[in-house]
């Protein structure tokens, strides 16, 4: 009998159902098309989001542990776990550590890499961004909002910013947590005499942070802070998951996990 093979796609999740469809489900569908011999399963890491979606619309989404338990019960023998994350931060590693003990229940259980992991990944990430960044005029720039972390993986954001600077791109990456934050970005913008900014989420989904913390009119949103500092601000409310180039990055990560056995970067 042929091995039953599956790909478990895990994201932090979002309660924005439009973003689930345009980002998370779009990536899952592209993975399914690319690997027709594998069944696709999905899970969200956030219990809060899972509970909110269930209460609001009756949507049932598994946690990572529930999903892997179900796959074990359903007789899967080979499982590829692909997390839809930008960096290998605290939550990313916590999920892997929680699932790693299940290796003994499968013939093969491997984990795909995040978007940013190796030195070559920065150029790939920037190239993907070019597909959604409009042509910028003089004194215009794009400001990306990343989630950020207090984990050492914050260095990946910093390294990507350095790579963009080396490429001469007028793109500035700030984070909600860690460095750089919006105040640091404003200093850099003024140093380059920027007067118009396009805000974009550097996250898989355009969920709460993108809608409320980045683009809303509330006093402490990035949009309001930038406007209060004299910038003209436009917003782009699509997560990276809706960018075909980033979808292809995750397809590549799955392929690497299948062919090379997963987390060689650890």
Q: How far apart are CA 264 and CA 259, in angstroms?
A: 12
Q: How far apart are CA 26 and CA 241, in angstroms?
A: 7
Residue 105 assigned to a binding site: no
Q: Is 151 known to be catalytic?
A: no
- CB-CB contact of 15 with 53 (8 Å): yes
Residue 163 assigned to a binding site: no
Contacts of 97 (CB under 8 A, 6+ apart): none
Task: Name the one residue in this structure whose structure tokens are 């259980």.
Answer: 109
Question: What secondary structure does DSSP assign to 205-262, as a single string?
Answer: S--HIIIIIITS-STTSHHHHHHHTT-EEEE----GGGSHHHHHHHHHHHHHHHHH-S
Among the listed residues 105, 131, 139, 147, the single catalytic one is 147
Binding residue ranges for Co(2+) = 147, 209
Supply the residues annotated as catalytic: 147
Binding residue ranges = 147, 209
């Amino acid at each position: 009998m042929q091995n039953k093979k599956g790909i478990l796609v895990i994201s932090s999740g979002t309660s924005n159902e439009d973003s689930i469809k345009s980002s998370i489900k779009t990536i899952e569908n592209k993975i399914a098309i690319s690997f027709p011999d594998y069944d696709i399963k999905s899970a969200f890491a956030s219990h809060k989001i899972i509970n909110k979606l269930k209460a609001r619309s009756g949507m049932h989404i598994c946690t990572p542990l529930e999903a892997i338990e179900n796959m074990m019960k359903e007789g899967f023998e080979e499982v590829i776990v692909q997390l839809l994350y930008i960096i290998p931060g605290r939550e990313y590693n916590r999920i892997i550590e929680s699932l790693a003990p299940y290796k003994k229940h499968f013939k093969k259980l491997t984990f795909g890499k995040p978007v940013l992991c190796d030195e070559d990944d920065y150029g790939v990430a920037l190239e993907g961004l070019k597909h959604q960044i409009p042509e910028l005029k003089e004194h215009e720039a794009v400001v990306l909002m990343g989630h950020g972390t207090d984990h050492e993986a914050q260095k990946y954001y910093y390294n990507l910013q350095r790579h963009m600077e080396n490429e001469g791109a007028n793109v500035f990456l700030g984070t909600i947590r860690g460095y750089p934050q919006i105040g640091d970005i404003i200093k850099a913008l003024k140093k380059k005499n920027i007067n118009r900014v396009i805000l974009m989420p550097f996250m898989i989904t355009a969920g709460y942070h993108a809608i409320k913390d980045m683009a809303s009119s509330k006093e402490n949103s990035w949009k309001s802070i930038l406007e209060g500092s004299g910038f003209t601000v436009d917003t782009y409310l699509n997560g990276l998951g809706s960018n075909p180039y980033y979808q292809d990055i995750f397809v590549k990560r799955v392929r690497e996990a299948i062919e090379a056995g997963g987390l060689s970067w650890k």
